[in-house]
Chains A and B, each alone.
Chain A
Amino acid sequence: MSRGRLMARTVFVLMAVWSLGTAPARAQDAPVRGGTVVAAIVSDPGHLNPAITTSGATHAASELLYNGLLGRDERGEPVPELAESWQIEQGGTVYRFRLRDGVRWHDGTPFTAADVKFTFEEVLVKYHARTRASMGAVLAGIEAPDDRTVVFRFKQPYAPLLYQLDATEAPIVARHVYQGTDPQTNPANGNPIGTGPFKLVSYTKGTEIRLVRNPTYFKAGLPHLDGLVMRIIPDLAVQVLALENGEVDFLWELPGPQQARLKGDPRFRAARTGYHPGGSNCIMTMSFNLDRPILKDLRVRQAVAHALDRQAFLTQILFGDGKVAAAPISSEIPWAHAAGLALPRPDRAEAEKLLDGAGWKKEGEGPRTARGVPGVADGTRLSIEFLHFPTFTKYGELVRQQLGAVGIGVVLKPLEPAVFAPTVFKDRNFDSNVISYCNGPDPEIGVRRMYHSSQIGPAPFTNAAAYRNARVDALFDEASRTVERDKRTRLYRQIQELVVQELPYFWLVETVSTRAWAARCAGFKAWTGHFAEEAFCRR
């Protein structure tokens, strides 16, 4: 790494960690060995096998027990982990990985290429939803020619692989533990054997998971901590109180309102990140059901977009914790995010003009009335349903208030997730909704499913708008087969320009997570599930 890049990276990290206190963040001392960190997690994971689920609860609690072939740095770029080097061959159809020497499982068994082959073939592409959906259909085979070499062969060039090999997307589990068993009910899910920086001591259901340092971890000198306790505290506000009371040292999520409360308190530090073990790089997105006559008309969708003041969503709902979405792809994936797009700006007059032009006329008070709108009986009042999770009520209220101002009536329908998903994606019984669409580490994983015409129902959180555009389909297909980064960047830019013109969705705000921790501790990596691998605390 050149000196300039090193400096740039240092500045980046310093900016990413901000002090909650008024005192400037003191440069941390050299890492201290020993001590135990107590981290708060929101829900009981149920089990500790991250390879069979994408559940955020399980991943937050278990990733430190495991490793991926690769890790990720603070910009989401792949770095060596169980694999020390890799080569891309035959234009992206073959990936060859050289594994690290001398890695052992927590029970002492040597880790080999056979573990990797077994994990992908028998566990990940069967049970891990994201890996299965993205890689399953194009993976031709995995070979382990010797103990330290793994070769992935794909049916066609496969671009995103290096971004889906960390412990969140593809944790490697032990073949000798899982072979010949049912991975979903294997007792080892509660008593895991991994390669990660920490080993399990105990898992007390509903209470905590206690981990201890893995003394033979393959990264020399790590971890610094003797132990780590994951405390299950379901209420985020109570987590903050526990941090203040000194019962907990690390929070995954410091909610916006509480940030204001802790501001000025030198006892705490915080850092923002788009990464979340349950789904990274998320954009709160309004979907329009393009099958509905009212929303089929581009002018109505444009009017909605002009009527919405997205800055208000950021300040009033997120308390500034995030940013107004500037493009359909998250800015947390910088190489795919198209900067400088012209998204509709808040402009009430323009919205009113568009609605008039679409045949929705202002007649007295309240919602507008249809006068010659195709597919809609004359005299019908302009009213759309807006479906949302109960946790997103504030989004609904702002949408109703802002659209009401230009004469669009909004009927809010709060539905809990288990009901929301089948209503929207299977029954398609909605006009509009808000969804936290998580882009994931690569657009192929979390963005394609929103726009590709093959992704229209019934699987949840796919193409809610029922958007169909052959050109966009072709561009996505080409991007998934294109390994060169520059070419992919151009393809995703073309896609984003097209969908911004057609507005099947409107991208409201990018949400981020704020991690917080006691100022006596440092070294937390907010951008990965291995958050405590390098952490330490002064006593």
Chain B
Amino acid sequence: MPSRYLLRRLAQVLPTVAGLLVLNFCIVHLAPGDPVIALGGEHGDAAYYAFLRARFALDRPLPEQLLTYVTNVLRGDLGTSFVHGRSVAGVIAERLPATILLVATALVLSSLAGLGLGTLAARHGRRPADLALNAAALLGYATPSFWLGQMALLTVAVGTGLFPVQGMTDARHPQTGLAHVLDVAHHLALPALVLAVNELALTTRLVRTGLLEALGADYVRTARAKGLPEGRVIRHALRNVMLPVLTVIGSRAGMFLSGAVLVEVVFAWPGLGRLLLSSLLARDYPVLLGMFLLISFAVVLANLITDLAYARLDPRIRYQ
């Protein structure tokens, strides 16, 4: 792949993110709501709220606030959280690992299982197994994740006692080393599965539809006529199916950073989704803007990576 293309795409990332930065700033500040009320509690007097407003420079004209913010971001400073009283970068960084672990696990699970189930469904095209998988996929896609999470808690966690209800670790017996890894995996299982179910349904449907189409194509007939084993034939066909599937998975990767909020709340998972929600309710502008910036970056980067992956998967695609 020519590096000129890569450079050009990377050069597009910066203006895109910069535009989003300004847009985010305007949306956050123009939305109704007042951070000093969330921060000051309900018993303050007018002087106290004025004091807080001045302290966080919220009494300055909006263009001036925007200029200050952009200048600071260019210097790599995302500001100080109103609520936490610490640097925004630090507040976000603390929560990032938990979300990446949850989202990546769910994404890998749903992609692998979706590929398998979609293939299975396509090979049984329009027979009972396919119809059953199809119905299950639609049900999974239509089920809200918070409801599924609560059901999983009631039936699996409390019902069988095999899984913990909340958190990322055991509060009573903090572990270290390998035991800690196992403890986290134990806590991760249910939320990752619940999060994966939605994605799984989508991937399954995409793989199935694409594969059904591909299996009717000429090159598949040729491959079969040559006497290739069915597994090899499917692999040929899958390679063509992967493009739309990858597009969808890629677009999800960025969204996932914000989209895990419901599952994080239900399972008390200490990730970014909960931080986003609480910052929104408290109108913690610096943290909100920091997270929007992160999400913007993630979406733009995921798109870039998807585009680059196209070229690897499909030799017909050439980038100039």
Question: A residues within 8 Å of B by Cβ?
Answer: 36, 38, 43-44, 46-47, 53-55, 126, 129-130, 132-133, 136, 184-185, 189-190, 204-208, 210, 229, 231-235, 237-239, 241-242, 244-245, 247-248, 278-279, 416-419, 421-423, 438, 440, 445-446, 449, 458-461
Asked if B38 contacts A446 (CB within 8 A), the reply is no
Q: Is B230's CB within 8 Å of the partner chain A?
A: no
Question: What is the bound-complex CA distance between A55 and B282, given in angstroms?
Answer: 11
Question: Can you list 8 A-B contacts (CB < 8 A)?
Answer: A44-B278, A46-B83, A133-B45, A205-B91, A247-B164, A247-B172, A418-B32, A459-B46
Chain B contacts of A189 at CB under 8 A?
85
B290: shortest Cβ distance to chain A, in Å?
15
Question: What is the bound-complex CA distance between A416 and B45, given in angstroms?
Answer: 21
8 Å CB contact of B45 from A47, A205, A248, A459:
A459
Question: What is the bound-complex CA distance between A234 and B265, given in angstroms?
Answer: 6
- Other A-B pairs, 4, CB within 8 Å; known A46-B85, A232-B268: A245-B158, A418-B34, A418-B282, A459-B44
Asked if A416 contacts B158 (CB within 8 A), the reply is no
Question: What is the bound-complex CA distance between A128 and B203, given in angstroms?
Answer: 52
Chain B contacts of A417 at CB under 8 A?
37-38, 281
Asked if B172 contacts A419 (CB within 8 A), the reply is no
Question: What is the bound-complex CA distance between A132 and B49, given in angstroms?
Answer: 11
8 Å CB contact of A235 from B37, B164, B266:
B266
What is the chain B residue whose CB lies nearest that of A418?
Answer: B33
Q: Is B100's CB within 8 Å of the partner chain A?
A: no
Question: What is the bound-complex CA distance between A232 and B164, given in angstroms?
Answer: 14
Question: What is the bound-complex CA distance between A211 and B113, given in angstroms?
Answer: 42
Asked if B165 contacts A238 (CB within 8 A), the reply is yes
Question: What is the bound-complex CA distance between A411 and B158, given in angstroms?
Answer: 41
Asked if B169 contacts A207 (CB within 8 A), the reply is yes
Interface members, chain B 19-51 (any A CB < 8 Å): 32-35, 37-49, 51
8 Å CB contact of A241 from B34, B158, B171:
B158
A122: shortest Cβ distance to chain B, in Å?
14
8 Å CB contact of A206 from B43, B95, B165, B170:
B95
A539: shortest Cβ distance to chain B, in Å?
12
Question: What is the bound-complex CA distance between A233 and B266, given in angstroms?
Answer: 8
What is the chain B residue whose CB lies nearest that of A239?
Answer: B166
B284: shortest Cβ distance to chain A, in Å?
9
What is the chain A residue whose CB lies nearest that of B84?
Answer: A46
A63: shortest Cβ distance to chain B, in Å?
15
Given contacts A38-B172, A46-B81, contact A133 B34 (CB under 8 A): no
Among A47, A206, A241, A458, which residue has the most Cβ atoms of chain B within 10 A?
A206
Asked if B38 contacts A206 (CB within 8 A), the reply is no
Chain B contacts of A449 at CB under 8 A?
43
Question: What is the bound-complex CA distance between A242 and B171, given in angstroms?
Answer: 11
What is the chain B residue whose CB lies nearest that of A52?
Answer: B85
Asked if B165 contacts A241 (CB within 8 A), the reply is yes
Q: Is B65's CB within 8 Å of the partner chain A?
A: no
Q: Is B167's CB within 8 Å of the partner chain A?
A: yes
Question: What is the bound-complex CA distance between A184 and B266, given in angstroms?
Answer: 31
What is the chain A residue whose CB lies nearest that of B270?
Answer: A206
What is the chain A residue whose CB lies nearest that of B56?
Answer: A184
Q: Is B161's CB within 8 Å of the partner chain A?
A: yes
Asked if B271 contacts A422 (CB within 8 A), the reply is no
B225: shortest Cβ distance to chain A, in Å?
58
Asked if A235 contacts B45 (CB within 8 A), the reply is no
Interface members, chain B 212-267 (any A CB < 8 Å): 265-267
B223: shortest Cβ distance to chain A, in Å?
52
What is the chain B residue whose CB lies nearest that of A459?
Answer: B46
Chain B contacts of A206 at CB under 8 A?
94-95, 98, 270-271, 274-275
Question: What is the bound-complex CA distance between A189 and B282, given in angstroms?
Answer: 19
Chain B contacts of A446 at CB under 8 A?
43
Q: Is B58's CB within 8 Å of the partner chain A?
A: no
8 Å CB contact of A418 from B43, B81, B281:
B281
Asked if B157 contacts A233 (CB within 8 A), the reply is no
What is the chain A residue whose CB lies nearest that of B265?
Answer: A234
Asked if B274 contacts A234 (CB within 8 A), the reply is yes
Question: What is the bound-complex CA distance between A112 and B285, given in angstroms?
Answer: 39
Asked if B171 contacts A129 (CB within 8 A), the reply is no
Given contacts A47-B84, A234-B274, contact A130 B41 (CB under 8 A): yes
Asked if B43 contacts A232 (CB within 8 A), the reply is no
Chain B contacts of A423 at CB under 8 A?
32
Chain A contacts of B42 at CB under 8 A?
54, 129, 279, 421, 438, 460-461
Q: Is B195's CB within 8 Å of the partner chain A?
A: no
Given contacts A46-B84, A419-B33, A438-B42, contact A133 B171 (CB under 8 A): no
Q: Is B283's CB within 8 Å of the partner chain A?
A: yes
A36: shortest Cβ distance to chain B, in Å?
7
A250: shortest Cβ distance to chain B, in Å?
12
Interface members, chain B 91-134 (any A CB < 8 Å): 91, 94-95, 98
Given contacts A205-B270, A206-B274, A419-B32, contact A247 B171 (CB under 8 A): yes
Chain A contacts of B282 at CB under 8 A?
418
Asked if B94 contacts A205 (CB within 8 A), the reply is yes
A229: shortest Cβ distance to chain B, in Å?
5
B185: shortest Cβ distance to chain A, in Å?
16
Q: Is B80's CB within 8 Å of the partner chain A?
A: yes
Q: Is B136's CB within 8 Å of the partner chain A?
A: no
Asked if B44 contacts A132 (CB within 8 A), the reply is yes
Asked if A185 contacts B86 (CB within 8 A), the reply is yes
